[in-house]
Chains A and B, each alone.
Chain A
Amino acid sequence: MDLNTVKWIPWLPAFSAVVCCVLCMRPAWRRWAAPVTVVAILASFAIAMLAAPQAGNPDIRDDYRTGAYEQQVEGEDGIGQTVTAFRWIHFRDYRNFDSEQEARAYAEAHPGRGEAEPDPQTDDWRVLETTFRADFAYYIDPLTLLMLFVVCGIGALVAIYGAGYMSGEKGYARFFGAVSLFIFAMTTVVMADNLVLLYLGWEMVGLASYLLIGYYYHRPSAVAAAKKAFIVNRIGDLGFALGIFMTFWRYETVIIAEVLQMATSGEHVTDWRDYAIPFLLLMGALGKSAQIPLYMWLPDAMEGPTPVSALIHAATMVTSGVYMIARLTPVFELSPYALPTVATIGGITAAFAATIATCQYDIKRIYAFSTVSQLGYMFMGVGMGLRYAIFGGLFHLLTHAFFKALLFLTSGNVMHGLHGQLDIRKMSGLRKVMPYTCWLMFAGCLSLAAFPFTAAFFSKDAILAGVFERALGYHGTEPSNWFFFLGGLALATAFLTAYYCFRAWFRVFMGPTEYEMGTDHGHDEDAAHGGHEDAHGDDHGHGHGEAHEASWLMLSPLFILAAGALFAGFIGYGIVQELVWSSTAAITMPALVEDTSQLHLTLMVLSGIVAISGISTAAWFHWLRRDAASRIGEKAAPLVRLLHNKYYIDDLCWACIVMPLHSLGKLFFLIDRLVIDGLVALVGLVPRLMGRSVRPSQAGVLQGYGVAMLAGLAVVVAVVMMAVYLT
């Protein structure tokens, strides 16, 4: 299968989105939405995997270890190949030459750019050439394949799960339409050949998340959450757009391959713009991957249905920021401060989110904050600028996709079973009721906590190794103890991660089995009940309606995910390492100089100990000694409340950003009506006033006119006398 079929990968889901829209029309057709979407995604997945062998350059792979290779970013022997679907935005400008020969020479040198022609007004020659080119073109390189694997793979699994989870919903087709739109957008982001197309995918992903978060649109909180997500993303996208403008200004092109080529070519003179571009692009990444300044939308995004949270807000969309940084690492390398900033933000976010997650009571909120912190890990990995670190970051992206999707989907099962109940305080001991979900979630938690030999253990270890290599100054980087601090932070976060995920697990599944059913009826508020009759008693009394295990359609994908979460470490380590190190991310990475196997071993042991201790503390407090946990909870009540309210940051930003802007709007509206309209009315008033002031002179009284005549006569006589006398 030749590489050109790759260009169909995004367009299959797009087509399925259109089909879903059509299916929305008739209630009868809704059932077909899920299969169409799943088929489309699987087809894309298949094309991606089949195209894998052609992608990338086989002969690069063997000397990736040494890093001592010189290669092209693009073209036959380059790292990736470009496949163009159709032309999108082109701009042509004249390039002037003094003499005809120069023009003709240039025209030959650049075929297809248009031929030399004389300038009618001046006497010099010019060639009409395309200066701005942004097409629907796709750049395929190993990194793209890795991301495609994640997006389409996890996407398909979640879609299958969603088919079961969303059955009976009134907006069934609408859900799958949005999901396929999302897959189209995500694949566009991942495969974009130029920054503008990347931006298109970027915003479409934001739109898809808006539609999916606001799926239960009759709930105002969902609508608000959707709006918040889209706007915060848009703020990030503004930074990203400015980054694109700056790159075009600096490199005269928006095509990633050309930018990377110029960035990595020797004679590139860095100026102030090179320092600014990474930071602007970083802003976009922060918005999309919910890092420190722009993370507040992710926890609220849990309002959407669980498959959405699993797919978009755990596995794929949030990782687009990491992908973008990985893709443009050579550009980030140009400014010395860019990558360290990325790492720092990642580290701080990881710790910050982990602390908040410890005190949340809603399962999905816990996993949302855990996603934010794991993304912090990935940022740290990508931000080190070392081979192991970037490999660790991207491998963690893959493993995280598996176990986080698993966790979300299992919590979906819990919610599905308990009719929307998610508060861990109101449920415990569900292992008997939902055995499969229990042990699947246990697998996910193990992986999240980075229990030795689970998938996350390897990826997190690679990141930690990268951090400490950088701290120790291996591979030609100068040692700096700032990275020691980050390493310590990472270990602390690892401990917290292990603690909060097992806290949830022990609370939900261990202990006495009593639980409170949730309030919402199945999945739809609508009075007219959907076709799906809730087989189990729908009275929502306290405790006596019993939870139920999810259907097989929902459980089958979970098993695959569980397998991935546990064994991806062994299988994927080599493959991902190969893919990452032969992609554009690793062009500028320093070659492996020192032997780090010793360091890796120690770190593995260390993180293993940390993980186990975290699990045991969680077990201690939330399984064996629950009362102890509550006692400590009262003593540290203010801290718990602070963490539970997410450091009050949401309210803070509402108070000092949203409210002032809103009142400013009111003020402007007032000004608009009073001041500017007032001025216009004033202009209209002047003639009327003049008219009114002259009117009394025509009072109609005879003598009035007499006096006026008299005065006129007197004046005339005076003037004549003056004239006669003064001459």
Chain B
Amino acid sequence: MRPETLIPLMVLLPLLAAPAIFALPRRLSEVWAWALFISVLNFAVAVAVVVFAYLPAPGSEVSRLSEGGFFLTGAGWPWLEDFGLRISFGLDAISLWLVVLTALLMPITVLASRTAVTERYREYYMWLLLLEAAMIGTFIATDVIFFYVCFEFTLVPMFFLIGIFGSTQRLKAARVFFLYTFTGSLLMLAGLIYLAYFNAAQDLATAAQTLAELRNIDVSEAQAWLAGQEQAAALGHWTFDIQALTFTAQTLMSPAQQGWLLLALLAGFAVKVPLFPVHTWLPLAHTEAPTAGSVILAGVLLKLGTYGLIRFALPMCPEAVVTFAPYIGVLAVIAILYTALICWVQTDVKRLIAYSSVSHLGFCVLGLFAIDAERHIGQSGAVMYMINHGLSTGALFLCIGMIYERFHTRELAAMSGLGRVMPVWAFFFVLFCLASVGLPGLNGFIGEFLTLVGAFLATDTLGMGFAIAAGFGMILAAIYILYMVGKVIWGPTKVPESHDHNRDAAHAGEAHHGPAVRDLNRREIAVLSPLAALCIFIGLYPFPMLQSLDKPVMTLTRPAAEVVAERADARSEAEREQAARTFEAIERDATREGRR
């Protein structure tokens, strides 16, 4: 079976399984078993794709992963042919790792929500599988509208998951979550359609003309160059292929148009990433979402925003990205410091971690917009950050879910010194906290360190100041994480009382006095141990992932890097002229004095 067919399988499998699960099995254990089977199967397919990725494509001896662009692309099916809409899909290194992350998190969340959800469970697992299908669909899409459809469709299951299975204020949270992201993404759609229109409105003559103006080269040369480019064939008629549109946006759009396109894209993705001013929906959604919901929300949904930024915003509007990078950098730094401080004063554990993921994604965005003429460390760091944040924060939410299952409270004040009572849980919790704070040796460090290096070295767009400010974020992160760990794990043992009486209701014979708290059972260890192992493994040996990311990230950031290089040259020329002028002025004075 050709590897290309594996890719749509990952979407179709959960998509078809979801209604089946909803309809057929009756008992909770059956439904859960089937859901687990489907998600594990999907993970297996994902692993198969990774294996294919590392194998050399027929005819070339180097592994597929090492080519730059989309290495596994399928022809896809025509959807609305006369509008140029096709369901076309393709994987490159970035989307590959994100798909594997999604495929990994899904079985783990299903495994974790065995005891969490006891009523309306068929619906619950249906929505989970639909969510998985939508997410994987977004990552594999190479057609803009297919991407947008999946991007939007992720909202629906999430809305129901929060709305039905959340805690107290779940309806408000679901509503705010849905409307907030939805309005943002509508603007994005507008931008994308404008781009498609712009592309359709071009034909070779006018394209050469605009290119000549933009690059102030003569028309014939622009014509010749355009003829050479194979993506130029897409000019003149309606198409939504990402690469064609990227080519048009890069070459033919004026900086102003690119600015507007960037603003539209930012509107959609900034809300999803939660960048600073538009982040207020996240803490609300997280505290109200069920465990599985917030794991997926933090693990993958937030990455849709950053994935969108690197896939769409960076390559499509390089000029605008370079001009706007410092401002977005400022927003990112504010996000890091502002939310880190907020985390420190939180009383609800889940809200604390929600705010912490806003702070962490601030790092990710900082890395993304650290455009450097020769290096792409920032962007690679950002992609690594996405994956690592998914693992560590997802695991953190799982730990908290386990606490919530036992004590039905998330108040920090209500519990302390659980380390003594639940040592295994404590070990995992401390491990994931340290991973999320970016302790070297664990996976958080890779992303954080590389984004900071990228920000530090991108002197033209960001520079030292941003890295130092973000560095303080690292310290604040240590503060609020240790504040939480100190409260929850260490200190004198205090178990929330609410736990006792409902536990007694469940087990009549339980010794009613004293916290008969169960530590993690085998299932829960099975949930956490793969994530822990991955955290340590990626922390110590990220080499294969980093190696695979090099080329795709370079192809995506190359236009922006070229713009930075051009501007740097222009600046240096201006300086040189300036210096020449002052030199002449000095000479003139000297000669005048000489004459006098």
Let me know if chains A and B touch directly in the complex, using CB atoms closer than 8 Å: yes
Within the complex, the shortest CB–CB distance from B490 to chain A, in Å, comes to: 4
Residues of A contacting B491 in the complex (Cβ-Cβ under 8 angstroms) = 217-218, 220, 223
In the bound complex, CA of A356 to CA of B339 (Å): 39
Within the complex, the shortest CB–CB distance from B555 to chain A, in Å, comes to: 10
Within the complex, the shortest CB–CB distance from B249 to chain A, in Å, comes to: 15
B440 pairs with A204, CB closer than 8 A: yes
B543 pairs with A90, CB closer than 8 A: yes
- Complex interface: stretch among A224-232, A399-407, A704-712: A224-232
List the A residue with the shortest CB-CB distance to B485.
A227
Asked, given contacts A196-B449, A217-B490, A669-B342, whether A245 binds B543 with beta carbons under 8 Å apart, the answer is no
Instruction: Determine which of B279, B344, B492 lies in contact with A665 in the assembled complex, contact meaning CB atoms within 8 Å.
Output: B344
Residues of B contacting A231 in the complex (Cβ-Cβ under 8 angstroms) = 475, 478-479, 482
Asked, given contacts A90-B543, A245-B467, whether A200 binds B440 with beta carbons under 8 Å apart, the answer is yes
Instruction: Determine which of B417, B479, B483, B543 lies in contact with A89 in the assembled complex, contact meaning CB atoms within 8 Å.
Output: B543
A249 within 8 A of B: yes
A91 within 8 A of B: yes
In the bound complex, CA of A214 to CA of B450 (Å): 30
Within the complex, the shortest CB–CB distance from B380 to chain A, in Å, comes to: 7
B206 within 8 A of A: no
A87 within 8 A of B: yes
Asked, given contacts A217-B419, A220-B491, whether A242 binds B440 with beta carbons under 8 Å apart, the answer is no
| A202, A218, A223, A664: residue with the most chain B Cβ atoms closer than 10 Å | A223
Residues of A contacting B56 in the complex (Cβ-Cβ under 8 angstroms) = none
In the bound complex, CA of A24 to CA of B179 (Å): 49
User: Would you give the 0/1 interface string for A653-686, flagging 1 where the beta carbon is closer than 8 Å to chain B?
Assistant: 0000000011011101100110011001000100
In the bound complex, CA of A388 to CA of B546 (Å): 45
In the bound complex, CA of A89 to CA of B441 (Å): 12
User: Would you give the 0/1 interface string for A88-105, flagging 1 where the beta carbon is closer than 8 Å to chain B?
Assistant: 111111100000000000
B420 pairs with A207, CB closer than 8 A: no
Within the complex, the shortest CB–CB distance from A234 to chain B, in Å, comes to: 4
| B342, B375, B445: residue with the most chain A Cβ atoms closer than 10 Å | B342
Asked, given contacts A217-B490, A230-B482, A680-B280, whether A86 binds B341 with beta carbons under 8 Å apart, the answer is no
User: Would you give the 0/1 interface string for B527-541, flagging 1 where the beta carbon is closer than 8 Å to chain A?
Assistant: 000000000000011
Asked, given contacts A86-B541, A88-B542, whether A24 binds B423 with beta carbons under 8 Å apart, the answer is yes
B197 within 8 A of A: no
Q: For window 420-440 of chain B, which residues contact chain A by CB distance below 8 Å?
A: 420, 423, 427, 434, 439-440
Residues of A contacting B13 in the complex (Cβ-Cβ under 8 angstroms) = none
Q: For window 155-175 of chain B, which residues contact chain A by CB distance below 8 Å?
A: none
B452 within 8 A of A: yes
A248 pairs with B440, CB closer than 8 A: no
Within the complex, the shortest CB–CB distance from A525 to chain B, in Å, comes to: 9
Q: For window 312-362 of chain B, which residues contact chain A by CB distance below 8 Å?
A: 338-339, 341-346
Q: For window 250-302 of chain B, which residues contact chain A by CB distance below 8 Å?
A: 277, 279-280
Q: For window 208-247 of chain B, which residues contact chain A by CB distance below 8 Å?
A: none
B391 within 8 A of A: no
B280 pairs with A665, CB closer than 8 A: no
B345 pairs with A680, CB closer than 8 A: no
A661 pairs with B341, CB closer than 8 A: yes
Within the complex, the shortest CB–CB distance from A276 to chain B, in Å, comes to: 9
A91 pairs with B420, CB closer than 8 A: no
B280 pairs with A238, CB closer than 8 A: no
In the bound complex, CA of A241 to CA of B478 (Å): 15
B377 within 8 A of A: yes
User: Would you give the 0/1 interface string for A38-76, flagging 1 where the beta carbon is closer than 8 Å to chain B?
Assistant: 000000000000000000000000000000000000000
Within the complex, the shortest CB–CB distance from A94 to chain B, in Å, comes to: 7
B21 within 8 A of A: no
Within the complex, the shortest CB–CB distance from B92 to chain A, in Å, comes to: 16
B574 within 8 A of A: no
Instruction: Determine which of B374, B468, B478, B489 lies in contact with A242 in the assembled complex, contact meaning CB atoms within 8 Å.
Output: B468
In the bound complex, CA of A520 to CA of B366 (Å): 50
User: Would you give the 0/1 interface string for A343-376, flagging 1 where the beta carbon is closer than 8 Å to chain B?
Assistant: 0000000000000000000000000000000000
Within the complex, the shortest CB–CB distance from A301 to chain B, in Å, comes to: 15
Q: For window 470-520 of chain B, which residues contact chain A by CB distance below 8 Å?
A: 471-472, 474-476, 478-479, 482-483, 486, 489-493
A492 within 8 A of B: no
B493 pairs with A218, CB closer than 8 A: yes
| B338, B423, B441: residue with the most chain A Cβ atoms closer than 10 Å | B441
Within the complex, the shortest CB–CB distance from B377 to chain A, in Å, comes to: 6
Within the complex, the shortest CB–CB distance from A97 to chain B, in Å, comes to: 14
Q: For window 391-425 of chain B, which residues contact chain A by CB distance below 8 Å?
A: 417, 419-420, 423
B475 pairs with A676, CB closer than 8 A: no
B121 within 8 A of A: no
Residues of A contacting B572 in the complex (Cβ-Cβ under 8 angstroms) = none
A620 within 8 A of B: no
A161 within 8 A of B: no
In the bound complex, CA of A81 to CA of B170 (Å): 61
Instruction: Determine which of A207, A218, A664, A672 lies in contact with B434 in the assembled complex, contact meaning CB atoms within 8 Å.
Output: A207
Residues of B contacting A666 in the complex (Cβ-Cβ under 8 angstroms) = 345
List the B residue with the shortest CB-CB distance to A669.
B342
User: Would you give the 0/1 interface string for B115-128, flagging 1 where the beta carbon is closer than 8 Å to chain A?
Assistant: 00000000000000
B550 within 8 A of A: yes
List the B residue with the shortest CB-CB distance to A680.
B280
A200 pairs with B420, CB closer than 8 A: no
A200 pairs with B375, CB closer than 8 A: no
A669 pairs with B345, CB closer than 8 A: yes
Residues of A contacting B280 in the complex (Cβ-Cβ under 8 angstroms) = 672-673, 676-677, 680
| B427, B446, B482, B489: residue with the most chain A Cβ atoms closer than 10 Å | B482
Asked, given contacts A238-B474, A680-B176, whether A248 binds B490 with beta carbons under 8 Å apart, the answer is no
User: Would you give the 0/1 interface string for B374-389, flagging 1 where the beta carbon is closer than 8 Å to chain A?
Assistant: 1111001000000000
Asked, given contacts A223-B490, A231-B482, whether A248 binds B453 with beta carbons under 8 Å apart, the answer is yes
Q: For window 442-467 of chain B, which residues contact chain A by CB distance below 8 Å?
A: 445-446, 449-450, 452-453, 456-457, 467
Instruction: Determine which of A203, A220, A662 lies in contact with B492 in the assembled complex, contact meaning CB atoms within 8 Å.
Output: A220
In the bound complex, CA of A662 to CA of B342 (Å): 9
A3 within 8 A of B: no
Within the complex, the shortest CB–CB distance from B34 to chain A, in Å, comes to: 33
Residues of B contacting A88 in the complex (Cβ-Cβ under 8 angstroms) = 540-543
A132 within 8 A of B: yes
A93 pairs with B374, CB closer than 8 A: yes
B467 pairs with A91, CB closer than 8 A: no
A218 pairs with B471, CB closer than 8 A: no
Residues of A contacting B339 in the complex (Cβ-Cβ under 8 angstroms) = 668
Within the complex, the shortest CB–CB distance from A517 to chain B, in Å, comes to: 24
In the bound complex, CA of A246 to CA of B457 (Å): 8
Asked, given contacts A223-B491, A668-B338, whether A21 binds B427 with beta carbons under 8 Å apart, the answer is yes
In the bound complex, CA of A666 to CA of B480 (Å): 13
B375 pairs with A93, CB closer than 8 A: yes
In the bound complex, CA of A224 to CA of B491 (Å): 9
B441 pairs with A200, CB closer than 8 A: yes
B434 pairs with A89, CB closer than 8 A: no
In the bound complex, CA of A662 to CA of B340 (Å): 11
List the B residue with the shortest CB-CB distance to A227.
B482
Q: Which A residues contact B (CB, under 8 angstroms)?
A: 21, 24, 86-94, 131-132, 136, 196, 199-200, 202-204, 207, 210, 214, 217-218, 220, 222-224, 226-227, 230-231, 234-235, 238, 241-242, 245-246, 248-249, 526, 661-662, 664-666, 668-669, 672-673, 676-677, 680, 684
- Assuming A94-B554, A245-B467, A661-B341, what are 4 further A-B pairs, CB within 8 angstroms? A217-B417, A217-B419, A218-B490, A222-B490
Nearest first, the 4 closest Cβ-Cβ pairs linking A and B are A200-B440, A665-B341, A217-B490, A245-B456
Q: Which B residues contact A (CB, under 8 angstroms)?
A: 176, 179-180, 277, 279-280, 338-339, 341-346, 374-377, 380, 417, 419-420, 423, 427, 434, 439-441, 445-446, 449-450, 452-453, 456-457, 467-468, 471-472, 474-476, 478-479, 482-483, 486, 489-493, 540-543, 546-547, 550, 554
Offer 10 A-B interface pairs, CB within 8 angstroms, sorted by A. Answer: A24-B423, A92-B550, A204-B440, A207-B434, A226-B486, A662-B345, A666-B345, A668-B341, A668-B342, A669-B342
